[in-house]
Amino acid sequence: MSTSALILMVSVQSLVTVVTVYFLMRVLKTPPKSESENTEN
């Protein structure tokens, strides 16, 4: 494998990992909806 291919592979894998962790933390830190918000129409 060439050096440029290795650099590209590592950078893309790192970017995907960072984006995944970011959105996972965003979902986990979102407060749950209250009951009044769930029952409104």
Q: What is the pTM of this model?
A: 0.69
Mind listing the pLDDT tens digit for each residue in 1-41? 899 999 999 999 999 999 999 999 999 999 888 777 666 66
Q: What is the pLDDT of residue 28?
A: 95
Q: What is the pLDDT of residue 24?
A: 97
* Separation of alpha carbons 6 and 1, rounded Å: 7
